[in-house]
Structure 1
Amino acid sequence: MTTKTLLLSLALSLATATAASAATSTTPPVELTKEAPVAAPPIPDGPAKPAMEAFRDGKHLAAVELAKPLAEQGNADALFLLGFAAETGQGLTASREAALESYKKAAEAGHKDANYRRALILLNSKEEKDRQEGRQVLETAAGTDPANAGRILGEAWLRGLLSEKPDFDKAAEWWNKASEAGDTPAILLLARLYEGALGFPEKKDAARAMELYKKAASLGDENAFIPLGSRFLNGEEKFRDEKEGRQWLAKAIEKKQFAAYLALGDFEENVKKDEKAALTTYQKGAEEKQPDCLLRVAAFHLEGRGGLEKSEEKGREWLGKAAEAGSAMAALEMASRLSNDAKPDLLGAYKYLVSAANAGLPVAQNELGLLYVNGNLGLSDPTAGVAWFTLAAKSGHAAAQNNLGALYERGVGVPVNYNNAGQLYSLAANQGHGPATAGLARLHAGGLGTDQDLPKAWALASLAVERGDAEAKTLLGDITSKLNGDQLEKGKKELEELKKTGDTKAEAPAPAPVKEEEK
């Protein structure tokens, strides 16, 4: 396993550090999460009001006791409260089944939101029958409430919860129904879908996306102001309209949506090619502590643009401000610069790296994992490294998938598990990651977790070399020395097959059969 830390060679350009560009700024999608909602249920008028008020005040046990007799009488609000208490474990022992039962009774008693809470629990089930039951609940609800039910159904289909794989057409169908009912969050989700921001690039329809952003904005959804204004200024040339774009962004600024300055600055910098005007605009956003504008100002200082003198000191000062304002990319850049100084400040870099990792940046999570595994801070903690690699790997970060696979292969911080290693190497290899491709080659060459397959190992090692993994050359030479002529020819055919589509389609080694004496 290669254990050198990538942090020491990390050199991000500030141009790419602002990946959250206004040109792609959109409203976030709805989420079908397993986590309980943070906010307590709203307080209704009626017999259950005292119970709801007690729950809101944190008196969960008292609230449940007040709700129980009302629930026995069929009061919908009280039944909903008992479902919420069971779902969240507040006032009642957390119980999925109890929550489902109470929500079902509340829905039957006429509580609309109970259907949605019940459906969300069912949709997040590992059981197919539960997810389909959730679908049926929502489809029934859509008869009278197409907006909310349609929005949730659209996401469920997009996430592949109701089919073997994500279904664009079904998602579009339900979000269209919700949109027709005037649900602006669904309109924005549909716009992102047609824009290609949610996958399915082959279905991209920029004109349709623009039409939907306009619809949401015209209905008064403030979340549409920046995406629409940005696309008028920075989108495809055929859709550009500077006057209208500036008008929508001005409305966003009136609503204190200061990311609008990022879109305006992006227009000045990349469309009008006026760096001084761009800097002035970014500085306006920076005055409002908008993280990405702060990051752009830092870039201008570091690179000496917009009429500024190049200044590492001022650039870092602005990077620090951006990181403090919540920019994960600024924190990562600061970590990189501190670690690459002539006298590296690893503790300072660590502080910024933790900030970026906690903000959910996979690159930072992977780098933090490397720090822990390598012991660069003076103490090795492979278990912590595994935790950070796992977070990044779940986000699809190829390097983290490879690093975690290597830990499973070596038994560092986790028990040796060749099947897990193979699965992780496969995920990274299918993204073109050279060391992960070599990892798969090692498993097949050594018969680790699978039957030994030297031709396949040779093909994978060859591919790893082509993908730039220098260490794979030694592995390839070792495997080649063990092949006879027929095996080498088979390996060459395997390599051709792997390269045919530009995708390895590599599969993790299947578990080796258990020998009789091991049973």
Structure 2
Amino acid sequence: GLEAYYTGDFARAAALLKDKTNRTAIEEYYMGRMYLYGYGILKSNTLAYQSFKHAAEKGSVSAQLLLAKIELFQNNNPEQALVWFKKAAKANNRSAQMYCAAAYLYGVGTTKSADSARDFYTAAAKGDNSIAQQSLAEDFLKEKQAANRKIGLNWLNKAVEARDPEAEMMMADLCRKGDLVAKNQDQATQLMEDAINQEYVPAYYQMGRLKLEQGAQRDAKNWFEKAAKLNYAPAQIALAELYLDPKNVNHSLRNGFFWMQKAAAAGSSTAQQAVAAMYKKGEGVPVNETLATEWEHKAQQQDPAQLKVQQQKKMAEWLSRGKVSRMEDTEYQLPGIYSVWQDKNALRDNIYNQPPQLHLVRRQDIYQVNFQMISPNDVPISQYYDAMMTTQEASSKPTGKLMFPHYAVPTSRPDDTVKEKSANIAQRDGYDYLNQMTSKSSVDYSELFKHLLSQAMIGDSTAQFDVALMYQQGVGVTQSIEEALKFYQLAAAQNDLPAEYHLGLIYLQGKGVAPDYKIGMEWLTDAAFKGNYYAQYALARIYEYGYQDQNGRQVVPADKEQAFELYQLAAISYYGPAQYRLAEIMVRQPLKDPSVEALQTRHKQIKRLFQGAVEFGVEEAKLPLAFYNASDADETKQAEAFVDAQRAAADNSPDAAFLLGMMYDRGIATSADAKRAVYWYEQAATNPMSAFILGTYAAEGKGMRKNTEKAVDCLQFAASKHFSAADYNLAVLKKQEGEKFLPYLEKAADSGLSQAGLTLADYYLSRDSTSSELQRARALYEQFAKRGFQSAQLKLGYLYENGLGVTRDYTQALNWYTAAAQQGKSQGQAQYLLGRLYQFGWIGTSPDQAMAKQWYATIKAQYAPAAVAYGFIDEIENDDYQHAFSEYQQAADLGDPIAQYDLALIYEKGKNQAIDLDKAKDLYKQAGQKNVVKAMTSLGNIYVLEQNISRALPWLNLAISNNDADASYQMGWLAEKGLIPHASINQAIQYYQTAASQGQANAILALARLYKSGSSVKKDLEKSARYYAQLAQDNYPEAQYQLAKFCLSNATKTCTAQEAKTWLLKAEQNGSQNATQLLRLLTAQGQGTVSYIESIRV
């Protein structure tokens, strides 16, 4: 029942709760609200009060507060109101605590008691109520003990922090005097000004007194006058005294009498005595003993009724800090329908009022299968490159021996500051030392060698390395590997890493010495792990492919993981060849975490690596980088990509042709040109991605003639190369052609293609799924949800929320909705569904409306259902029609039909505003045209009230075609009254029966009435009694009364005369005055039983 209530299904909630024998406090409270508003059940103030009372007795604070307000305003019983407020206060309700404090302070509904008042506002002060904190501070500050006054100052500070104006005035006084705080006139002024800025009238008066003390009589008069005009009695008296003072520049007996009389009329006994004296003396007014006596009498013996009004006025002013002077205008006013509904018809008993609606979230709203081909241009270019690399064969092992970079022979004397040694890269073609040496003919290598040798002999490690290199290459000296090794070792002994690197290469390659792979690897490893990136790169290549001796025997086994780590180390040092090779590996490497975020991160990393390689001078990296630059937002990078693609395409690169095709296709760095795009795609037809695009365009007829056969051929070729998007588009094409498509869709889904997996799952959920299909769908949603796909997370959450193929689990739903919501607004569904979990109490032990509103607030500006839900909470839970109206209006402006309907209800019923039937009709029409059934009925009903039956009938018939019981009842009533042309009473009965079969109570009463009277149909008392009995069981007092009369008359077998009194007592308890009168009649006749009452007629 409660769940139905929270979700806005009030008819179902009422049906479930009314038959429950032992309702909880919250169930009683909501049952009371449904009776009170006529939501889902016939309106009954009596039954509402009974339910509220049961709820209050069971501890519902909401019910206790409501009953207190009913007693205070409807029953004019402040004593009983205080009883209920005290119960709520005991439950720590701040509002109730403050009411009780005020009641004891001013003697409303009880005897005045400062101690009792203090107990209540002490509790409220602890709950951060600033008025209570100021009141408590005032109590403590009045005491003499320093410790207590310090406590008072602490409470006062809390109230001042909350900008309580009375507290600010008190603190200002302390600052002026230097009492408990440092003397500070500026702070005192600031505090007073803030209280005045809050339009706190006593602050005007207090400022007047300060000005008077300072001798500024004119300023004092102005402040007193400002407060006096706002009916503040102390200011009126002060202003009067100012005028009456003969020493004052403003002296005026007439004005003095005027303002004193104002204060006297407001009930001030001080002013009343002063007015009496002025009449006696003739000050400002002619002498009048009679009036003087009357005013003296008023001052001495106040009228109890007037005293009660004064007490409640003071109470209201204290509770509102002087903003209002009537309790009806405070937060304690009766809420909702009690006070702010303008439509009097909506306040009557035994009617239905239509409640606001929420959006339903149906399975078909979430799982909408969309068989639409993947548009080639929707796929990021970088993803095409990734796919292209994975479908192409990975780089094979280089032919011949592995080549490594070598350091260059020096061409000049080294500077005093040691520079980093440069290297030439012989990765593919080796390094031509002879060419380098002959191209630098101006260098005297022999002289250079002598100089370096002299430096080497005195221990310069850099010179030692250069000498070794010249010995190794025979540059400037006769080649000698033995001497080279000696000097390399001397340098290496001083941790010269290039020397270690070259030693490693010499022993590994066996150039001039016997190969020693162990020593060679040791030198290379030591150099690499000390940070030499040439050694890191060389080792990476050795471990990537393994290393073989001259006889082809493997002497160093391949180790891909070690190779990857070493490429990373060299790439960190911005070594271009390592960056390029690492990027090539990463592109082909499957992700351990295939999430969207991980994929985006990898793309950024790969792009950075290719960029670094290009900047280093690696030509091979230009085309891969072009694929990434083509989709960059920077137009300069796009232009660079276009140029690089053109150059490579001119060299017959099919990959470049494919990239050019995409750039012409998308209009990147050039004008979009579908035909030129197709031309370049055809130049790369052996590229599976190019075939995928050509196949898709052949199916769509884009840039070429539509050709299904060619489309299938191209897509099948791409699919054969394991390009899953081709399988997916084949599936869509096959479905369009009416052929079997699931095998292709499942293959694409199995490959991990998100669109295929989600489409397949949606397909299963969009129809009556088998258990295995639901399990398959769940697995797919879970797979892509874990990868970070927002739609998968949302749909998986909905599966758990509704128990589709899984055990219902709101916590799991919460987790997945939260994951989807945290990715951003998207369409807002995730945030909305998350809010619903909290609103309906599916998370935790009870609804959390505050948390629900937090989520709705994040997306309500653009997602109408969230604004509707936000407004629904404001209206149903808080009776806050002003904010509900604003939320509904926001959603209605977005064209939302439910919001239009809810807004129309506010205009029709005049909820906290004037009734506007024209606006209501316009909104009902808009909502009705969008299939909001209750809008059709409501619009028809308004036309009926306006006696415009011809306009009412189409809307009511449309609602009936949508099975609306209220519309059927209205049509029955119109037919019965002869307002439908050519309609008979039998048609009226048919309408009533249709409505009655759906539980429409008014229709059941109408049938009971018709069969009882027999005026239009054949009388059938048994049928009538059965209809009355049906409603009597549901506690409808009129039905109970009528059934009792049947019982007394012995006119039916439905009940006996002995049961009559039971039904009458129930009817009386439920508010039937007719039942009360009949019971009195029975009692007056002195009947012990009622079996032979002659006067009772059915």
Corresponding position of 1:354: 746
Q: Match for 2:377 among 16, 26, 45?
A: 16
Q: Match for 2:658 among 259, 262, 270?
A: 262
Alignment RMSD (CA, Å) = 5.1
In the TM superposition, residue 442 of structure 1 has moved relative to its aligned partner by: 1.7
Corresponding position of 2:677: 278
In the TM superposition, residue 444 of structure 1 has moved relative to its aligned partner by: 0.9
* Residues 645 and 657 in structure 2, CA contact (< 8 A), matched pair in contact too: no
* Residues 172 and 190 in structure 1, CA contact (< 8 A), matched pair in contact too: no
* Residues 8 and 336 in structure 1, CA contact (< 8 A), matched pair in contact too: no
* Residues 1:335 and 1:297: Cα distance change in structure 2 (over 3 Å): same
Q: Match for 1:460 among 839, 855, 869?
A: 855
Write out per-residue CA displacement over residues 173-215 of structure 1, whole angstroms, 9 at most, x where no aligned residue.
9842263684533467999xxxx984499x9999x77742425
In the TM superposition, residue 388 of structure 1 has moved relative to its aligned partner by: 0.6
Corresponding position of 1:246: 646
Write out per-residue CA displacement over residues 67-108 of structure 1, whole angstroms, 9 at most, x where no aligned residue.
xxxxxxxxxxxxxxxxxxxxxxxxxxxxxxxxxxxxxxxxxx
In the TM superposition, residue 364 of structure 1 has moved relative to its aligned partner by: 1.9
In the TM superposition, residue 397 of structure 1 has moved relative to its aligned partner by: 1.1
In the TM superposition, residue 428 of structure 1 has moved relative to its aligned partner by: 1.1
In the TM superposition, residue 478 of structure 1 has moved relative to its aligned partner by: 4.9
Give the distance between the partners of 1:28 and 1:303, measured in 2 at CA: 23
In the TM superposition, residue 456 of structure 1 has moved relative to its aligned partner by: 2.5
Write out per-residue CA displacement over residues 457-480 of structure 1, whole angstroms, 9 at most, x where no aligned residue.
13434655555475x677556534
Q: Match for 1:227 among 619, 624, 643?
A: 624
In the TM superposition, residue 404 of structure 1 has moved relative to its aligned partner by: 0.9
Give the distance between the partners of 2:629 and 2:766, measured in 1 at CA: 48
Highest relative contact order (Cα 8 Å, sep 6+), 1 or 2? 1
In the TM superposition, residue 312 of structure 1 has moved relative to its aligned partner by: 5.2
State the SS of the aligned residue for 2:815: helix
- Counterpart residue type for residue 719 of structure 2: A
Give the distance between the partners of 1:13 and 1:457, measured in 2 at CA: 37
1:479 aligns with 2:847: no
- Counterpart residue type for residue 840 of structure 2: G
In the TM superposition, residue 260 of structure 1 has moved relative to its aligned partner by: 3.4
Give the distance between the partners of 2:868 and 2:708, measured in 1 at CA: 42
Unaligned runs of 5+ in 2: 1-360, 391-517, 522-527, 541-566, 588-597, 888-1098
In the TM superposition, residue 360 of structure 1 has moved relative to its aligned partner by: 1.4
In the TM superposition, residue 264 of structure 1 has moved relative to its aligned partner by: 2.4
Give the distance between the partners of 1:415 and 1:148, measured in 2 at CA: 56
Q: Match for 1:366 among 753, 758, 775?
A: 758
State the SS of the aligned residue for 2:876: coil
* Residues 1:283 and 1:461: Cα distance change in structure 2 (over 3 Å): same
Give the distance between the partners of 2:718 and 2:577, measured in 1 at CA: 40
Give the distance between the partners of 1:453 and 1:148, measured in 2 at CA: 63
* Residues 1:198 and 1:386: Cα distance change in structure 2 (over 3 Å): closer
Q: Match for 1:422 among 814, 817, 831?
A: 814
In the TM superposition, residue 424 of structure 1 has moved relative to its aligned partner by: 0.8
In the TM superposition, residue 445 of structure 1 has moved relative to its aligned partner by: 1.2
* Residues 1:294 and 1:416: Cα distance change in structure 2 (over 3 Å): same
Identity of aligned residues (%): 20
Q: Match for 1:438 among 824, 828, 832?
A: 832
* Residues 303 and 310 in structure 1, CA contact (< 8 A), matched pair in contact too: yes
Give the distance between the partners of 1:476 and 1:12, measured in 2 at CA: 38
- Counterpart residue type for residue 449 of structure 1: I
* Residues 1:278 and 1:213: Cα distance change in structure 2 (over 3 Å): farther
Number of equivalenced pairs: 349
TM-score, length-scaled by structure 2 = 0.27
Q: Match for 2:691 among 294, 300, 319?
A: 294
Write out per-residue CA displacement over residues 18-58 of structure 1, whole angstroms, 9 at most, x where no aligned residue.
x152697369999xxxxxxxxxxxxxxxxxxxxxxxxxxxx
Q: Match for 1:25 among 385, 395, 405?
A: 385
- Counterpart residue type for residue 821 of structure 2: A
1:218 aligns with 2:618: yes
* Residues 871 and 883 in structure 2, CA contact (< 8 A), matched pair in contact too: no
* Residues 299 and 315 in structure 1, CA contact (< 8 A), matched pair in contact too: yes
- Counterpart residue type for residue 401 of structure 1: Q
Larger CA Rg, structure 1 vs 2: 2
* Residues 579 and 610 in structure 2, CA contact (< 8 A), matched pair in contact too: no
1:331 aligns with 2:331: no
1:199-210 correspondence to structure 2 within 5 Å: 199=601
* Residues 229 and 248 in structure 1, CA contact (< 8 A), matched pair in contact too: no
Corresponding position of 2:804: 412
In the TM superposition, residue 227 of structure 1 has moved relative to its aligned partner by: 1.4
- Counterpart residue type for residue 354 of structure 1: E
Give the distance between the partners of 1:176 and 1:392, measured in 2 at CA: 33
Write out per-residue CA displacement over residues 289-321 of structure 1, whole angstroms, 9 at most, x where no aligned residue.
x22211221343244343x22445644554444
Give the distance between the partners of 1:216 and 1:190, measured in 2 at CA: 19
1:90-101 correspondence to structure 2 within 5 Å: none
* Residues 230 and 264 in structure 1, CA contact (< 8 A), matched pair in contact too: no
* Residues 217 and 225 in structure 1, CA contact (< 8 A), matched pair in contact too: no
State the SS of the aligned residue for 1:381: helix
Unaligned runs of 5+ in 1: 31-108, 113-138, 151-170, 494-519
Write out per-residue CA displacement over residues 449-505 of structure 1, whole angstroms, 9 at most, x where no aligned residue.
3353113213434655555475x6775565344321689979x99xxxxxxxxxxxx
Give the distance between the partners of 2:386 and 2:616, measured in 1 at CA: 12
* Residues 1:149 and 1:373: Cα distance change in structure 2 (over 3 Å): farther
* Residues 437 and 461 in structure 1, CA contact (< 8 A), matched pair in contact too: yes
- Counterpart residue type for residue 636 of structure 2: K
1:396 aligns with 2:798: no
1:189-208 correspondence to structure 2 within 5 Å: 198-199=600-601
Write out per-residue CA displacement over residues 337-376 of structure 1, whole angstroms, 9 at most, x where no aligned residue.
555x4x855xx33222212212212222222223334555
Give the distance between the partners of 1:149 and 1:474, measured in 2 at CA: 65
* Residues 1:320 and 1:27: Cα distance change in structure 2 (over 3 Å): closer
- Counterpart residue type for residue 855 of structure 2: L
In the TM superposition, residue 282 of structure 1 has moved relative to its aligned partner by: 0.8
* Residues 1:8 and 1:406: Cα distance change in structure 2 (over 3 Å): closer
Corresponding position of 1:86: none
* Residues 1:148 and 1:22: Cα distance change in structure 2 (over 3 Å): same
In the TM superposition, residue 142 of structure 1 has moved relative to its aligned partner by: 6.3
TM-score, length-scaled by structure 1 = 0.53
- Counterpart residue type for residue 614 of structure 2: K
Give the distance between the partners of 2:636 and 2:859, measured in 1 at CA: 43
Give the distance between the partners of 1:190 and 1:6, measured in 2 at CA: 36
In the TM superposition, residue 425 of structure 1 has moved relative to its aligned partner by: 0.2
Give the distance between the partners of 2:611 and 2:793, measured in 1 at CA: 39
Give the distance between the partners of 1:336 and 1:248, measured in 2 at CA: 35
- Counterpart residue type for residue 25 of structure 1: Y
* Residues 1:275 and 1:383: Cα distance change in structure 2 (over 3 Å): closer
Give the distance between the partners of 1:230 and 1:305, measured in 2 at CA: 23
* Residues 402 and 424 in structure 1, CA contact (< 8 A), matched pair in contact too: yes
* Residues 579 and 612 in structure 2, CA contact (< 8 A), matched pair in contact too: no
In the TM superposition, residue 406 of structure 1 has moved relative to its aligned partner by: 1.4
In the TM superposition, residue 423 of structure 1 has moved relative to its aligned partner by: 1.5
- Counterpart residue type for residue 580 of structure 2: T
* Residues 213 and 227 in structure 1, CA contact (< 8 A), matched pair in contact too: no
- Counterpart residue type for residue 831 of structure 2: T
Give the distance between the partners of 1:400 and 1:23, measured in 2 at CA: 21
